Structure 1
Amino acid sequence: MEVLEEPTIWQKAWVYYQKGLENGDKRIENWLLVYSPVPVCCIIMCYLVIVWAGPKFMAKKEPINLKIVLILYNFTMVCLSAYMFYEFTAASWLASYSLLCQPVDYSNSQLAMRMASVCWLFYISKYVEFSDTMFFILRKKNSQLTFLHVYHHSTIILNCWLGLKYTPGGQSFMTGLLNSLVHVAMYLYYGLAAFGPRMTKYLWWKHYLTTLQLLQFFLITIHTVYNLFADCDYPDALNLIVSIYALSLIALFTHFYYHSYLKPKTYEQKKCVKKV
């Protein structure tokens, strides 16, 4: 009698991995960068390598003047964010989405596919936002390459991929809607700032922008935590992941807000601020 070998832990893991991929939304599995997390992780690794190597490469070079590029980029992102906010709002409103409990519509109806499409566009926009980091490196603004900046840009894509792969719509629409709205204000601020010092007097609302960013994370956390305890046909695992991620961003943005706007500055710091 032939004795069957027990599968190794790696073989079992591979089987679970394949099943996990097959359990994704069949409607969108052939869309760009959706089916497998491997290309996603490779892109994230390339991003982290650039964050590490970029400042070293630019160390002995002059900063690149990107004024025109920054103006065009930031106002393009304003338009893209505004469009995504409109699509999230329209698709959820027309489909009579509930703010408290909204399962995913996996049908091929026009509204269901419209929501899936804007979820995909939101996900792809996070790759475009890698440009924020590239511009910092090329302009030698290395002080902007904070842990918060790199952490947020490198992890948001994987979170978006998970949501898009398995739940393109439903409860997850709230994250895209709020984030798109905040990014309209954020990229508007940076678009105006790109014009130079003459715009400074119109940019007094910077700390309100950070407050708005914090508010979105609080709302996302409340929205997802509520659904962890509600009887709603939406994966608790994804709600838990989003909740933990939002809490980590609340902690990091609160730390940034305190050190940027609340913590008393030393005399040397005040001198530096006046020189800038």
Structure 2
Amino acid sequence: MALILKKIYKSYFFLTVDSADHDHDDHWIYSPLFLVSCIAGYLFTVKKLGPKFMENRKPYNIRKFLIAYNVIQILINLILTYEVFVVIKSSPYKLCVQSPLRDLVYSTRQQYFALKLLDCIETVFFVLRKSDRQVSFLHVYHHGIMIFTGWVAAKYDLGHTIVWIGFLNCFVHFIMFVYYLLTSIDSAWKKSVFIKKTLTTLQLIQFLSLILIYTLGSLIPDCNKFPSVLSFIFIIQNLFMFSLFSEFYYKTYWKEDKNRKMS
């Protein structure tokens, strides 16, 4: 028990003192209050304010906004995927990334946090279109936790291994937003069950990959100074997301396919 408490204390001290990027000490964006405000504001907007605003209104036709938003997301995710690929490629160790491109690592961390804030606009679009089914617990929880992850990645110097989160997440989102762009241009794309299943499968592979990376990373001594407690939290979080997406996959695709075959 004493050893566990000691590790927790060391990880807490690491996160609050050792790993903080002190260049951001005076910047309001990196205040915990800003993080809490972002998550609370997001939840209040999509669960209370937005639905109340739309209560007696017809769904808005925001097709042009959707097309523009999807194009922006495609470009940003593609650029970040490339930048992180350059970081990983420059490292002699691919799992415990140790890139000499320190400025690029810092830049991608900050861009990634900004991108996770931009992602939240997607839920606002769902509310404005009265697509209540899409504002699910899974969707809202995913966006909320990604704001937190992006903020932690931007504020703390957790070693370059953390760029794997950005690489996998941005790559998967690049593919997803290409599909979303196609559906916003031509709704016929929404009928493709195969594409939807493939996108969900990619999400599942992403979570499993991150679980593997941070499990192996936690077993390697001094793997780029990533704290063991934070590795454990990341692993549990991705396990939780994997279970939620697996449940969604089972109910939406596997169970429905089985029912159709039996009918």
In 2, the alpha carbon distance for the partners of 1:115 and 1:187 equals 24
* Counterpart residue number, 1:149: 139
* Counterpart residue number, 1:240: 232
Contact kept, 8 Å, 1:115 with 1:169, in 2: the verdict is no
Contact kept, 8 Å, 1:225 with 1:239, in 2: the verdict is yes
AA aligned opposite 2:113: Y
* Counterpart residue number, 2:160: 170
Structure 2: runs of 5+ lacking an equivalent: 1-11
* Counterpart residue number, 2:4: none
- Match 2:245 to one of 243, 248, 253: 253
- Report Cα offsets for 1:3-33 as digits up to 9, x if no partner: xxxxxxxxxxxxx89x926751224445662
In 2, the alpha carbon distance for the partners of 1:197 and 1:122 equals 30
Contact kept, 8 Å, 1:29 with 1:165, in 2: the verdict is no
In 2, the alpha carbon distance for the partners of 1:80 and 1:132 equals 15
Cα distance change, pair 257–97 in 1 and its aligned pair in 2 (3 A): farther
In 2, the alpha carbon distance for the partners of 1:57 and 1:170 equals 43
- Paired residues, what number? 245
Contact kept, 8 Å, 1:119 with 1:168, in 2: the verdict is no
* Counterpart residue number, 2:6: none
SS of corresponding position for 1:247 = helix
Larger radius of gyration: 1
Q: CA deviation at 1:48?
A: 0.8
Q: CA deviation at 1:185?
A: 0.5
SS of corresponding position for 2:185 = coil
Contact kept, 8 Å, 1:82 with 1:181, in 2: the verdict is yes
* Counterpart residue number, 1:91: 87
Q: CA deviation at 1:97?
A: 4.6
Matched, 1:63 2:59: yes
In 1, the alpha carbon distance for the partners of 2:242 and 2:215 equals 14
TM-score (norm 1): 0.81
Give 1:170-249 correspondences, 5 Å limit.
170-200=160-190, 204-231=194-221, 232=223, 233-249=225-241
Q: CA deviation at 1:92?
A: 2.4
Contact kept, 8 Å, 1:129 with 1:153, in 2: the verdict is yes
In 2, the alpha carbon distance for the partners of 1:149 and 1:236 equals 28
- Report Cα offsets for 1:175-205 as digits up to 9, x if no partner: 1001110011111111110113344467741
RMSD value over aligned CA atoms? 2.5
- Report Cα offsets for 1:148-191 as digits up to 9, x if no partner: 00101111111222232222551101110011100111111111
SS of corresponding position for 2:95 = coil
In 2, the alpha carbon distance for the partners of 1:142 and 1:193 equals 18
- Report Cα offsets for 1:58-105 as digits up to 9, x if no partner: 1210100011110110111011000000000112212x25223235x7
In 1, the alpha carbon distance for the partners of 2:23 and 2:105 equals 12
More helix by share: 2
In 2, the alpha carbon distance for the partners of 1:203 and 1:192 equals 14
Q: CA deviation at 1:129?
A: 0.5
